Structure 1
Amino acid sequence: MTDEFAPTRFSHVKAGENGWRSDGLRDFFLYRDLGVAEATEGKVICHLVKANMAPEKGTGWHRHEAHFQIVIMTKGWARFMYGDQDTLVSAGDCVHQRPGIVHYLYDYSPDMEYLEIVSPADFKTVEMPAPAEVPPFTPWS
């Protein structure tokens, strides 16, 4: 093993550990840390994200200062704008959000849950001007 991998540690977070928290990036989502940021000393974060409140305004247009980001939808669905492209992401779908892509998560189902993996763990989010109009969200009944 080379020194480049030496700072990472084995990690195993069981289903009942690291409960859902509301103090993540968005207050309308809940986050469950999966221990990867600590195990990789901040090289990668891996967490589950799920809907906590009905969509009202979404995330707003933004980009992340990250080298790598994927979203794997595990339950429900979410609608994103990637630039001017409206994208429905459903359970089982995987999206690689290339570095710097301007996007907006604006609608999601009540059971929406996704796995997000980002590098580095302490990535920054930067608000951006709107490159396109965002369709209306679907109110929960």
Structure 2
Amino acid sequence: MLQATTTEFSHVKPEDTQYVSGGLRDFFLYRDLGIAEATHGKVIAHLVKANMAPEKGTGWHRHEAEFQIVIMLKGWARFMYEDKETLVQAGDCVHQRPGIRHYLFDYSPDMEYLEIVSPADFKSIDVEPVCDIPEPTPWN
């Protein structure tokens, strides 16, 4: 017998939602995939892509979230996770454990990733710097 569920069926096509500004970072564009609505706020899934060249990056922060993964679809991004520099390239999947202090400081012009986070209304909290940040790669 099938179990009752508290989520809804969702099917979002590329033409259903557009990339928009106004998300967590102004130098990225975000495309909602309808998961927050379908899960009644339990999970958010969105596509994120570069909109402007990196200047200062995200700054040191952590998320108040139970679960977060980033799957790089195109291009690359360089993060600091605590004091470890990490290059995330197309095809890579990163699980960001709850509370990990991190800083996205560099990315390619074609960078695009899928981010899945629970809960949908997760918070981003600024934290004290962990270490120095390398310079971003200039866009030409």
- How high is the TM-score relative to the length of structure 2? 0.97
Question: How far apart are residue 67 of structure 1 and its match?
Answer: 0.2
**Which ranges of structure 1 fall in alignment gaps of 5 or more residues?**
none
Measured after TM superposition, the shift of residue 2 of structure 1 is: 4.0
Q: Matched residue of 2:130: which SS?
A: coil
Equivalences for 1:25-40 in 2 at 5 Å? Answer: 25-40=24-39
> Residue 8 of structure 1 aligns with which residue?
7
Matches within 5 A, 1:91-130: 91-130=90-129
Deviation at 1:52, TM superposition (A): 0.2
Please show how residues 27-106 of structure 1 align to structure 2 within 5 Å. Answer: 27-106=26-105
Q: What are the ranges of 5 or more consecutive residues in structure 2 without an aligned counterpart?
A: none
- Shift >2 Å, 4+ stretches: none
1:26 alignment partner, SS class: coil
SS of the residue aligned with 1:38? helix
Q: Report the TM-score when normalising by structure 1.
A: 0.97
Which amino acid in the other structure matches residue 50 of structure 1? K
2:25 and 2:14 mapped to 1: Cα distance? 22
Measured in 1, the distance between the counterparts of 2:121 and 2:101 equals 18
